[in-house]
Structure 1
Amino acid sequence: YRATGNPKYLQLAKGLIAIRDSVKNGEDHNQDRIPFRQQYEAMGHAVRANYLYAGVADLYAETGEAQLM
Structure 2
Amino acid sequence: MRKARQRDRERCYLCGGPGRIVDHVIPVAEGGSWDLTNLMCICDPCHHTKSRTEAARGRARHL
TM-score (norm 1): 0.37
Structure 1 or 2: more strand by fraction: 2
Q: Which has the higher contact order (CA 8 A, sep 6+)?
A: 2
Larger helix fraction of residues: 1
